[in-house]
Amino acid sequence: MRKKVLKLVVTFHTTADAMAMEKACKEAEVPGRLIPVPREISAGCGLAWCAPLSEREKLLVVMAEHGIEQEDLHECMLL
């Protein structure tokens, strides 16, 4: 198996919020992708936004600018 690294995982209440996040991050060229919610996280929506830890500030700015409501922001060991 590949080695796990610590990553940021943003969870959402709805799929619509998750899709808004993907669109906003793509437009702002903030790296990351939608993943199925890892099992250690309890989340409403089955989709989560996964990004490198270094992108935390940029992510928060994008979410604030687009009014995207996050459920929670986690740091998880992921592949």
Partner 1 sequence: MIYMDNAATTLHKPDAVKTAVLAALDTMGNAGRGASEPALDASRIIYGAREKLARFFNAESAAQIVFTANSTESLNIAIKGLICPGDHVITTVLEHNSVLRPLYECRERGAELSILGCDEKGNISYDEMEREVKENTKAIVCTHASNLTGNMIDLKKVGKIAGKHGLLFVVDASQTAGVWPVDVRENGIDVLCFTGHKGLMGPQGTGGMYVRPGVRIRPLLSGGSGIDTYNPHHPSQMPTALEAGTLNGHGIAGLSAAVSFLEETGLDVIRAKEQSLMRRFYEGISCIPGVKVYGDFGTEQRAAIVSFNIGDYDSSEVSDELNTEYGIVTRPGAHCAPLMHQALGTVEQGAVRFSFSYYNTEEEADAAIQAVKELAQE
**Shortest CB 54 distance to partner 1, Å:** 22
29 exposed, middle or buried (CB, 10 Å; 0-12, 13-18, 19+)? exposed
Contact 24, 65 (CB under 8 A): yes
Instruction: Looking at residues 40 to 79 of the shown chain, list those that interact with partner 1 (rule: CB under 8 A).
Output: 44-47, 67
Residue 11 DSSP label? E
Distance, in Å, from the CA atom of 20 to the CA atom of 54, rounded to the nearest integer, reads 21
Stretch that binds partner 1, among 2-10, 32-40, 54-62 (CB under 8 A): 32-40
Applying CB under 8 A, among 4, 5, 6, 23 the residue interacting with partner 1 is 23
Selected binder of partner 1 within 8, 18, 24, 62 (CB under 8 A): 18
